[in-house]
Amino acid sequence: MTTETRKRQNYTDDFKRDAVALVTEQGYKIAEAARSLGIGANLLGRWRREFAEEASGVRLSTDEREELKRLRKEVRMLRMEKEILKKASQYFAKEMR
């Protein structure tokens, strides 16, 4: 009894956009386009739905998600610095008395 582990295929955003364009712009059916590209029809349908959500503003794009992650990290750092400064000012205020 041999068990084979399948490696998950990662596709680039360009490939995904081109695949979705076959359906949305060139009029292919999802099943036809998926078969010609060697991917599952459900996968292609999900990509189409995700790109439609990004275009409508319901879903964040990859760049927007990265920016959000960076901004959240920056906010954490600024809050920490603010707390440090607040404690330092309280300490020095006591020293001045």
If asked whether residues 16 and 53 sit together in one domain, one would say yes
pLDDT band of residue 65 (cuts 50, 70, 90) is: confident
If asked whether residues 77 and 92 sit together in one domain, one would say yes
Instruction: For residue 60, report the phi and psi dihedrals to the nearest 5 degrees.
Output: -80, 140
pTM: 0.59
If asked whether residues 17 and 45 sit together in one domain, one would say yes
Question: What is the percentage of the chain residues whose pLDDT exceeds 90?
Answer: 64
Range of the domain at 85: 65-97
If asked whether residues 97 and 76 sit together in one domain, one would say yes
If asked whether residues 70 and 94 sit together in one domain, one would say yes
If asked whether residues 76 and 45 sit together in one domain, one would say no
Q: Is 1 within a domain? A: no
pLDDT band of residue 59 (cuts 50, 70, 90) is: confident
Cβ burial, residue 20 (10 Å; 0-12/13-18/19+): buried
Buried b (16+ CB within 10 A) or exposed e, 69-92: eeeeeeeeeeeeeeeeeeeeeeee
